[in-house]
Each structure stands twice: as structure tokens, then as C-alpha cells.
Amino acid sequence: MQTLILTKNLHKVFDAGEVAVQALKGVDLNIPEGQFVVILGPSGSGKSTLLNILGGMDTPTEGEFLYRGTPLQNLNKHELTRFRRKAVGFIFQFYNLMPNLTTYENVALAAEISDNPLDPHKVLGEIGLTDREDHFPAQLSGGQQQRVAIARAIAKNPDILLCDEPTGALDYETGKQVLNYLQKINRQMGKTLIIITHNASIGSMADRVIYIRDGRVSRTVFNEHPVTADEVNW
């Protein structure tokens, strides 16, 4: 498979007042297109920092990030905006939906900024939300809101889905459902999927598990036979 994401010696230092925080201390990654990657690691180890850089929302202090062979630092502001809009779909722990827009409008708004979007009705249908299209986020359960957030990310038709603790706020059954949806999107649509989680069991669903410790990749494990969320030994 073709390499989609390549990072070389990524460093990130945050200047927080008096002290500088070294959030990433040399991360090398090579992620092929279509891979399902789970990132595990303790709180504060640099997981979100890494994901934000991969999504073009932050830049490394040192090192390189190449997307399809192009170094992101070579992009001008306009091209970087295009990358974020087109290539990447984000899913966060707390959904981040627009509260004053309906389910349909939340998804359609995201589709509008892409030049190659999917039909919002169709995406919502596939994720089982057709009968909730006119509901506002406050009228939806947590699991439904997260499914809207997934539909919103997918409707842009991105190459990569970056998920920062997507099941962190969900109960066990709902979390399982959401993970099954994400895995289905990875397998059926071929979208590269990167999920940050604190739940080590989710690792068995992925093609590859990357362990981050203190700003570095401490271990990488490949699964020959990834399982579905229903088969995970929770």
C-alpha cells in the first residue's frame, strides 16, 4: 500500500510561560493508505499533540510531516487550509456539533467546504440517523451525537479520519456501536483511520497499535487478524 503519512523525527515544544513543555520528542511514523491505527498511551504523553499535527491544526517545532510525499511545511496557508478541509475528517470526544444547527445542517455544512463531498442524506442513512435529520444536538443522545459527528467527518469524503477518544464520553454498548461504524468506514470505504484511546482493548480492532510514552513511540504492534468491536475481549 502507498504511504499516506510519513513523519520524520517530529518534535513539539510548547512554550507555556516560564517552562517549555516537550510534548513530542522525535516521532517517526509510516502509515500506509487504508490502515486502521490505534494510538495508546498515558495522559500527557503527546497523543493529541501528534494527532493535531497530522491533521494540519498544529505544526511541529522540528522534523517533517509528509502527506502523500509532500512536506506539509512546503504548503502555503491556502494549501494548508485545503488539506484540512479536504483530506482530513476529525472526530472528538465531545462531538463539537453546532448546537443551533440540525443533524442534517451540521453534516451539510461540512460537506459544503469540500470539493468532492458525499450526499449528507446518504451518509446519515448509512449511519442510521435518517429519522433524526431535523433534530438539534440537544435532542439527541450522546451516541447519536457522535454518529452525527462521524457523518459530518465522512461527508467531506476525506482520506483520513482522525479520532481523539471518540468513545470517551459514551457508555460501553454505545461505544461499541460507534467503533463498529468507524471500522466499517475503514474497511468498506478504505479511509485511513487513526483512533486515540485510553482503552487498550480497542487495540485488537486495529491493523496496528502504536504506543506513545513521554513524547516518543515506545512500541508498535501489528495485528494479523483484527477483530470487530463485538469480538473484543473487553
Ligand X SMILES: Nc1ncnc2c1ncn2[C@@H]1O[C@H](COP(=O)(O)OP(=O)(O)OP(=O)(O)O)[C@@H](O)[C@H]1O
**Cβ atoms of 128 and 165 closer than 8 Å:** no
What distance in Å separates the CA atoms of residue 59 and residue 72, rounded to the nearest whole number?
9
| Binds Mg ion by CB under 5 A, chosen from 7, 35, 45, 48 | 48
Cα dist from 232 to 7, 26, 100, 169, 190, whole Å:
30, 32, 37, 19, 22
Binding partner of residue 116 among Mg ion, ligand X, none, CB cut-off 5 to 8 Å per kind: none
Q: Which stretch binds ligand X (CB under 6 A): 47-55, 95-103, 129-137, 219-227?
A: 47-55
CA 186 to chain centre: 11
Q: Which stretch binds ligand X (CB under 6 A): 41-49, 70-78, 84-92, 146-154?
A: 41-49
Q: Mapping DSSP to helix (H, G, I), strand (E, B) and coil, where does residue 220 land?
A: strand
* CB nearer ligand X, residue 151 or residue 202: 202
Answer yes or no whether residue 19 interacts with ligand X by CB under 6 A. no
Binding partner of residue 49 among Mg ion, ligand X, none, CB cut-off 5 to 8 Å per kind: ligand X
**Cβ atoms of 147 and 128 closer than 8 Å:** yes
Closest residue to Mg ion in the complex (CB):
48
What distance in Å separates the CA atoms of residue 141 and residue 174, rounded to the nearest whole number?
10
What distance in Å separates the CA atoms of residue 209 and residue 218, rounded to the nearest whole number?
11
Q: Tell me, what amino acid is at 185? A: I
Answer yes or no whether residue 45 interacts with ligand X by CB under 6 A. yes
Q: Which stretch binds ligand X (CB under 6 A): 16-24, 117-125, 169-177, 181-189?
A: 16-24
**Enclosing H/E stretch for 62:** strand 62-67
The least distance separating Mg ion from the CB of residue 48, rounded to whole angstroms, comes to 3
Answer yes or no whether residue 16 interacts with ligand X by CB under 6 A. yes
Answer yes or no whether residue 23 interacts with ligand X by CB under 6 A. yes
| Binds ligand X by CB under 6 A, chosen from 4, 5, 41, 88 | 41
Q: Which residues bind ligand X (CB under 6 A)?
A: 14, 16, 21, 23, 41, 43-49
